[in-house]
C-alpha cells in the first residue's frame, strides 16, 4: 500500500487560513529526503512523480545538497511519488494534488539498508549445515543492490544493467525463499545458535520488506524483538515498520518502553507525530512534536509541525509563537514560507 508521511488532513485547514496562497496555473509539490537514522539530508535521490492511472510522462527530479526536491506543472489528481537512493529502501507514496491548494511539504525519511553478517559455523558451538550458510550468503548478496545501481554485465561486450525497483522486489522475494528454507535447519539448542537464528530472522525481515511484504517483515522482526527486547536497534526498526503499516498504537507502545535517551534523532518523533495527525489524533501528535522540539530546538520543521498541531487544536497563541519561531530559524525554507502565509492570516 502506498503511503506518504504527509499532513494531508490539514489541507482544508491550510486552504482556509491561506486562501490567497494559491498556486498560479499549475499544481506543485515539494519535499525533502533525509536519512531515517541520522536525519541528515540525502543528496542525489531520484524522485519520480507520475499521475496514478495516467499515461503522461513522469516527472523525474533529483534532490539537492539539502535533500530538497520539487515537481511543477501538475494537474489535479492523485500522483504517485517514488523515491530511490543508493543504500536505502525505496519509498513509494501518493499525494493528492490540487491546482488551487497549497500542499504542505512532504518529508520522506529513507531507511538505510544494512546487510547483517551471519557468523560462520566456526564462531559458534554446534553444527550449521554448509547449505544453510550458502543459502544465507546468497540471500544477503541478493539484498545488496539498490534501485538505480549499475551492475556490470558478465559479458564485457554487453552494457551494464540498471537495477530497477522491480528488480529489488524480485531479489527480496528470492532472498526470503532462501532464508525460509534455511531457518528450520538452524538448531537453537545453545544460546550461540539461537543468536544465529535471530540474526537470520532479522535478515529475513529485511528480505520481506524489500519484497513489498511489510506484514511478513513485521512478523519476523517481532520474533527478534521478543527474543531480546533490549536491542534498541531492532526496536526502532520495528517502530518504523509499525508506523509504515499504520499500527500507531503498537509503535507508540515500543517508543514508550525505550530507555531515556535512546532516540536522539527528532525525525523519529516527527514521523510519529505526523502519522498521528493524519489519523486525526492531534493531541497525540502534539506530544511527539513537543519531544522533537525538546531534542533539537534549532530545527525549524519541528516548530512548524507543532505549530500546525496547535493551530488545529485552536491554541492560537501557541501556534503563532511556533510559526514565528519557524520564520526566525528558516525564513527562506518551504516551512518558513508557509509559516509567513499562515501568520498573515492571523491578522
Phi-psi group of 71: left, alpha or beta (phi > 0 → left; psi -120 to 50 → alpha; rest → beta): beta
Grid cell at residue 212: 513489498
Any idea which of 66-75, 95-104, 212-221, 286-295 has the lowest mean pLDDT?
Answer: 95-104
Q: Structure pTM? A: 0.56
Q: Could you tell me what percent of the chain has a pLDDT over 70?
A: 84
pLDDT at 323: 94
pLDDT at 222: 94
Mean pLDDT over residues 186-214, rounded? 86
pLDDT at 327: 93
| pLDDT over 60 (residue 8) | no
Q: Give the C-alpha distances (Å, rounded to integers) separating 76 from 28, 99, 306.
A: 10, 6, 29
Q: Give the C-alpha distances (Å, rounded to integers) separating 114 from 211, 254, 333.
A: 15, 21, 32
Mean pLDDT over residues 54-72, rounded? 80
Mean pLDDT over residues 327-336, rounded? 87
Mean pLDDT over residues 211-219, rounded? 91
Residue 180's pLDDT band (cuts 50, 70, 90): very high
First to last CA, the chain: 41
Mean pLDDT over residues 119-132, rounded? 55
pLDDT at 326: 93
26/100 Cα distance (integer angstroms): 9
Where do runs of H (alpha helix) occur along the chain?
11-17, 130-143, 165-182, 191-211, 214-227, 232-244, 248-257, 266-278, 282-295, 300-312, 316-329, 334-344
pLDDT at 283: 92
CA angle (211, 214, 216) in 5-degree steps: 90
For the chain, domains (ranges, CATH) are 1-112 (2.60.40.1120), 121-257 (1.25.40.10)
Q: Give the C-alpha distances (Å, rounded to integers) separating 174 from 110, 120, 124, 135, 164.
A: 23, 22, 27, 11, 15
b/e sequence 1-22, b meaning 16+ C-beta within 10 Å? eebbbbbbbbbeebeebbeebe
Contact predicate 148/134, CB 8 Å: no
Amino acid at each position: 500500500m502506498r503511503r506518504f508521511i504527509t499532513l494531508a488532513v490539514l489541507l482544508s485547514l491550510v486552504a482556509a487560513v491561506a486562501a490567497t496562497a494559491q498556486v498560479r496555473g499549475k499544481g506543485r509539490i515539494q519535499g525533502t529526503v533525509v536519512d531515517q537514522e541520522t536525519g541528515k539530508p540525502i543528496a542525489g535521490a531520484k524522485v519520480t512523480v507520475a499521475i496514478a492511472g495516467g499515461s503522461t510522462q513522469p516527472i523525474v527530479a533529483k534532490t539537492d545538497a539539502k535533500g530538497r526536491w520539487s515537481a511543477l506543472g501538475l494537474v489535479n489528481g492523485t500522483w504517485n511519488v517514488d523515491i530511490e537512493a543508493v543504500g536505502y529502501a525505496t519509498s513509494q507514496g501518493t499525494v493528492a494534488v490540487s491546482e488551487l491548494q497549497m500542499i504542505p511539504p512532504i518529508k520522506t525519511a529513507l531507511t538505510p539498508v544494512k546487510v547483517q553478517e551471519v557468523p560462520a559455523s566456526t564462531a559458534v558451538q554446534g553444527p550449521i549445515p554448509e547449505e544453510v550458510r550458502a543459502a544465507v550468503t546468497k540471500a544477503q548478496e541478493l539484498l545488496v543492490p539498490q534501485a538505480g545501481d549499475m551492475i556490470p554485465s558478465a559479458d564485457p561486450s554487453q552494457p551494464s544493467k540498471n537495477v530497477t525497483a522491480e528488480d529489488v522486489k524480485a531479489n527480496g522475494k528470492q532472498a526470503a525463499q532462501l532464508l525460509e528454507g534455511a531457518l528450520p535447519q538452524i538448531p537453537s539448542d545453545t544460546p550461540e545458535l539461537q543468536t544465529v537464528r535471530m540474526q537470520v530472522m532479522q535478515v529475513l525481515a529485511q528480505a520481506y520488506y524489500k519484497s513489498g511484504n511489510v506484514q511478513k517483515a513485521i512478523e519476523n522482526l517481532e520474533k527478534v524483538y521478543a527474543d531480546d527486547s533490549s536491542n534498541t536497534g531492532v526496536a526502532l526498526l520495528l517502530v518504523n515498520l509499525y508506523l509504515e503499516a499504520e499500527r500507531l498504537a503498537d509503535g507508540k507502545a515500543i517508543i514508550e518502553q525505550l530507555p531515556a535517551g535512546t532516540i536522539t534523532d527528532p525525525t523519529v518523533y516527527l514521523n510519529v507525530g505526523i502519522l498521528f495527525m493524519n489519523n486525526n489524533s492531534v493531541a497525540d501528535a502534539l506530544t511527539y512534536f513537543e519531544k522533537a522540539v525538546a531534542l533539537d530546538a534549532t530545527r525549524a520543521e519541528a516548530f512548524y509541525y507543532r505549530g500546525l498541531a496547535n493551530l488545529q487544536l485552536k491554541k492560537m497563541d501557541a501556534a503563532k509563537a511556533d510559526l514565528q519561531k519557524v520564520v526566525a530559524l528558516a525564513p527562506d525554507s518551504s516551512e518558513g514560507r508557509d509559516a509567513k502565509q499562515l501568520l498573515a492570516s492571523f491578522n
